[in-house]
Structure 1
């Protein structure tokens, strides 16, 4: 078997970010994916302060949420350029799918569908919510985020956002007991993604309904999108934080999806350097670096926020986000991306409670916070 310091299964942004971080530390690193050099088809957004040091992003000229212009900047990954930069770090890209991992003699190993076997100090499962090397996800009706979008020239989407601008948590549609909102972000090449999004529902809202709502929104704006490229989103927001088996889960496979917003790439990018350093000391150190105690506490607080959202009548969801985005910018930042900021996250939730009307406070208070799911 071929030997490495780190073998990372999964070629999404989280897997590649960690692989590049490992290679920069001088670790012999292999990344396994069916098409490791293929740019990611999905759109990935993150906050400007999470994008520091990224090789290529599209900067939103203005960010509007819940009817407000935010102080905090927003960025979208330039997928092709970011992947090219990470591939140049010295990672060996291995074509194939990881089908089994195991530990023997203190060394982790993984077998590919091609028959090739790789061994490493640490094998990482970065295969997203499928968790192909860390036990999968037990069957359940999951909390999902779903979205249906079209990609338009920036000037054609100007009815929703100025060219280069971003909009989210706005333009709510709460008809028929389903709350969805408008999500608009700039893409490379002067294009704009216009999306109808359901933040969180159990089970996720059907893509057909989202497409219908988006079509009505486009029709009202006089936009003909019949020939536009489409983008669909569907992923679980409640993947357990611990996997089963010898592989160390990372990114969405490790439950690093924000329980209340669905964001994960920013947190994965921020954690990658520390996890790469821990990989030098073995799997246990890597697991601890991914989920230190403070991150676990924040995750539990965020999960409470998700339970509040799921409990709200759809007509009250827009008001909830109007209250949230009226909070000071540092409190918004703490809840949205302060992955280890226990005090800041708690303060943001307390401030939202204080600002909420009593009918909403009851929902914020009565939902007890159970222990974080670690199975």
Structure 2
């Protein structure tokens, strides 16, 4: 084998496809490669590469913070089967890697796979996490939350029931022509907000509109400040946006670049600009965690008043240092003075984005 990709999630499979397309003999190893994916992966349409597998897309999005913000930007839910699909020439191995070097991956059963080893096993470590609980309801039932041809990115209005002061928001996106995922999300917390609290809040929102709660639910936990690992790809390489939890779109875009590096015998490593952008975004996460609960919606009110270009610069562009700095400076300059102090000198007595403890 030329390449051994460890990890069969969206990032690992994207890299395996890209390597195979360059004629590299590619193996993908995962403990359970046939296990169904229960997660819903979504992204801004303009951040996806050409040919990305889209299940459903909207032409606009909406956010509710202090006020309502309409975002003229397409939002897409990705097709999991398309993300999973691999060409026939990618060898898939079911197994757990217990040891690896740059050129060998040793499985728990003693087998040794040889080739250029790339870690795509996802984010690990860190203390901050995004957590969420969601259910899929009929589109007609979701009408109180989200309209036709739109995605509700976040609604910070408080749920009818809660047992803590942690801020959470409602996220509602169409997953098919007649179904909508409705999700209660804690954007960032140290440690992640427990799922029972999110479930309570989501169920109370549904009950307020007479919406029955489906039996199946989606549970989410995304590490936000995990350590980026050398020679890795995807979330394992620090491609998770620390202030949003997004990583799939950038992994899909970057897979061909990394495959080219592997084919040329170059190291799989982040550039200086990628490292700098990630460090700045971790600083943004720290500022977000330092905000009191009532200031979190105000923070996003300020953010969504930025120009579309600046929003795009901060939410995307994993290696766009100039754009990231420009967006952060503009947000800092537009924020109220009390918020500027917290953004400039974040204090980590809080456990969550906006929890004063």
Query: Does TM-score exceed 0.5, indicating one fold?
Result: yes
Q: Report matched runs for 1:153-232 at 5 Å.
A: 153-173=138-158, 176-188=164-176, 190-225=178-213, 227-232=214-219
Distance of 2:254 and 2:205 partners within structure 1: 38
Q: Is the 8 A contact 2:4 2:114 kept in 1?
A: yes
Higher helix share: 1
The corresponding residue for 2:335 is 356
On the 8 A contact 1:65/1:169 being kept in 2, the answer is yes
Asked if residue 71 in structure 1 is aligned to residue 83 in structure 2, the reply is no
Of 242, 254, 268, 1:287 maps to 268
Q: How far 1:155 moved relative to its partner?
A: 1.8
Residues 39 and 79 in structure 1, CA contact (< 8 A), matched pair in contact too: no
| Counterpart residue number, 2:94 | 95
Q: Is the 8 A contact 2:54 2:76 kept in 1?
A: no
- Count of residue pairs the alignment pairs up: 340
Q: CA deviation at 1:72?
A: 1.8
Matched, 1:19 2:16: yes
Q: Which residue of 1 aligns with 2:41?
A: 44
Deviations along 1:51-93, one digit per CA (max 9) or x if unpaired, are 2321333212431123211122111111023323xx1363222
1:111 counterpart = 2:99? no
TM-score by length of 1: 0.86
**Contact (CA 8 Å) 1:5, 1:27: kept in 2 or not?**
yes
Structure 1 spans left out of the alignment, 5+ residues: 131-136, 369-375
Q: Distance in 2 between matches of 1:254 and 1:230?
A: 29
Pairing partner for 1:240 from 227, 239, 254: 227
Question: Matched residues in 1 for 2:100 and 2:344: separation?
Answer: 43
* TM norm structure 2: 0.90
Q: Name the structure 1 match of 2:234.
A: 251
Mapped to 2, the partners of 1:41 and 1:25 lie a distance apart of: 30
Q: Which residue does 1:302 correspond to in 2?
A: 281
CA contact (8 A) 1:152 1:191 kept: yes
Does structure 1 conserve the Cα–Cα contact (< 8 Å) formed by 2:4 and 2:26?
yes
Q: What residue is the counterpart of 2:351 in the other structure?
A: none
* SS, match of residue 172 in structure 1: coil
Q: Which residue of 2 aligns with 1:149?
A: 134
Structure 2 gap segments, 5+ residues each: 348-357
Tell me, what secondary structure is at the counterpart of 1:58?
A: strand
Offset, 1:129: 2.4
Aligned-CA RMSD value: 1.9
Is contact 1:99-1:112 (8 Å) kept?
yes
**Aligned twin of 1:53:** 51
Question: Counterpart in 1 of 2:122?
Answer: 128
CA shift at 1:39, angstroms?
A: 4.1
